[in-house]
Copies of this chain bind each other. A is one copy, B any other.
Amino acid sequence: MIIALQRQLPKLINFRHFSYVNKNNKYFIQTIRPFSIMSSQKDHKLCMIPGPVEFHEDVLTSMSTLATSHVSPAFIPVFGESIQLLRKVFLTEKGQPFVVSGSGTLGWDMVSSNLVEPGEDALVLNTGYFGDSFSECLKVYGAKVTQVKSEIGERTTIQEVSDAISDKSYKIITITHVDTSTGVLADVKGISEVVKKQSPNTLIIVDGVCSVGCEELRFDEWGIDVVLTASQKALGVPPGLSILVASERAIEVFKNRKTPIPSYYASWAHWLPIMNAYESRKGMYFATPPVQLIYALNTSLKQITSIPLETRFEQHKKASNRIKDALDSLGLNFLPKNREAAANGMTAIYYPEGIQPADLLQKVASHNVVIAGGLHRAIATKYFRVGHMGISATEPERKHLDTVISALTDSLKELGYSGK
């Protein structure tokens, strides 16, 4: 079942039904998927939550890459190339990517421990659960945190930011691009503009866990200093990678700290030489990198960068509108106050009156689709969430959107909801 082919041949083949792996500089085409993963993808419950998302077959195949040394000539270029491909996805020329074994949460520790010194001021724009948590993390490392807290479903206004930064000189400002707990989309571009104008020394930090790979985000053009994200959302890779890009300015700030870095594992002093080494195709050791996850990341980044990012942003907007229009026509209400303030990779929806949370999630699951409950502490039992990132948005032939819309429509009907 394995056919060795010449190096140039794989390009000619429709990879949807094949995986390829590079072994000893020969490509092997494996026809395993049509019989295994592809068919079993049909059987499993479709995972339409705001991360982990559904994974491409080739990404899953990479996850079971055979044992490979983390400093071997086989792995080094895979890691090195992944670091370079991340720049393309983040739209940056000189930003410094970090790929670290950990969950997205670890990105907060990296920001808080490398860029803020004890007693320095941080401004957190809070549009949900993740703003609360980022604040808590910053405080652990000694930051003095001020929050601009929006009502549930509202985004921070430019005026609110302008007012806040005219009060005080902040070392950093943090923006949750999409708060996964509310589905609210921040105006990162507008906020960056006002910060650059009024407080040019403030580092602009974007929590892009639920935005990188699905929302328009222009690192260099918008002058962002850090974007942190995780593997399991729009980057389309199983969970386990904390991914972050830092601007040259942020790296300078880190290098010129006066106080010691108060973390060991999250310290860029350890990770920066590792990233530089692998990018220049040398192995180096601080902690064993998660080899299989990085193979999977490499596979996904190649897929993502094979078309213009603009197209990808559009695909996610289109998918989002499709879901939101369908739910709107059922008479459901969204957490975000308007479409402009709503994420394109996920949707947060209030349960209609009379529908019990557990009932709807279970009913939808009986239709072989998994959606998520609420997460925002204040209203956790009042709403649910649907994810539509990655291949669910970019490969309509998989019919993930149709499936989740049907499952939701049918489930609501079966529970006696008659619509508007």
Which A residues contact B (CB, under 8 angstroms)? Answer: 1-2, 21, 23-24, 28, 30, 32, 35-37, 39-41, 43-45, 47, 49, 51-55, 60-61, 63-64, 66-74, 101-106, 108-109, 112, 136-137, 140-141, 230, 232, 238-240, 260-267, 285-293, 365, 370, 372, 375
In whole angstroms, what is the CA distance A61 to B292 when docked? Answer: 12
Determine if B103 and A239 form an interchain contact, defined as CB atoms under 8 angstroms apart. Answer: no
Given contacts A264-B109, A375-B285, contact A240 B293 (CB under 8 A): yes
**12 additional A-B residue pairs with CB within 8 Å, beyond A52-B68, A262-B262, A265-B266:** A23-B43, A28-B40, A40-B66, A44-B68, A51-B288, A60-B66, A63-B64, A71-B372, A105-B265, A136-B264, A140-B267, A240-B240
Residues from chain B with Cβ under 8 Å of A64 in the complex: 37, 60-61, 63-64
CB distance from A107 to the nearest CB of B (A): 9
Given contacts A70-B239, A264-B140, contact A292 B63 (CB under 8 A): yes
Determine if B264 and A108 form an interchain contact, defined as CB atoms under 8 angstroms apart. Answer: yes
Determine if B41 and A291 form an interchain contact, defined as CB atoms under 8 angstroms apart. Answer: no
In whole angstroms, what is the CA distance A292 to B231 when docked? Answer: 12
Q: A43: nearest residue on chain B (CB-CB)?
A: B23
CB distance from A4 to the nearest CB of B (A): 10
Determine if B39 and A68 form an interchain contact, defined as CB atoms under 8 angstroms apart. Answer: no
Q: A23: nearest residue on chain B (CB-CB)?
A: B43
Determine if B40 and A36 form an interchain contact, defined as CB atoms under 8 angstroms apart. Answer: no
Determine if B2 and A21 form an interchain contact, defined as CB atoms under 8 angstroms apart. Answer: no
Determine if A288 and B70 form an interchain contact, defined as CB atoms under 8 angstroms apart. Answer: no
Residues from chain B with Cβ under 8 Å of A70 in the complex: 52, 239
In whole angstroms, what is the CA distance A140 to B35 when docked? Answer: 51
In whole angstroms, what is the CA distance A73 to B101 when docked? Answer: 26
Query: Which one of B24, B103, B290 contacts A103 once the chains associate, using CB atoms below 8 Å?
Result: B290
Given contacts A43-B23, A105-B265, contact A240 B1 (CB under 8 A): no
Determine if B35 and A52 form an interchain contact, defined as CB atoms under 8 angstroms apart. Answer: no
Name 27 interchain pairs, CB-CB below 8 A, sorted by A.
A21-B40, A23-B40, A23-B43, A24-B43, A44-B66, A45-B74, A51-B288, A52-B69, A52-B70, A61-B64, A63-B63, A63-B64, A71-B372, A101-B239, A102-B106, A102-B265, A105-B265, A108-B265, A109-B265, A112-B264, A140-B263, A140-B264, A238-B290, A239-B288, A240-B240, A265-B265, A265-B266
Determine if B292 and A240 form an interchain contact, defined as CB atoms under 8 angstroms apart. Answer: yes
Query: Which one of B2, B39, B232 contacts A36 once the chains associate, using CB atoms below 8 Å?
Result: B2
Query: Which one of B24, B36, B44, B265 contacts A30 once the chains associate, using CB atoms below 8 Å?
Result: B36
Given contacts A232-B288, A239-B101, contact A140 B67 (CB under 8 A): no
CB distance from A179 to the nearest CB of B (A): 14
Query: Which one of B2, B69, B230 contacts A40 once the chains associate, using CB atoms below 8 Å?
Result: B2
Residues from chain B with Cβ under 8 Å of A136 in the complex: 264
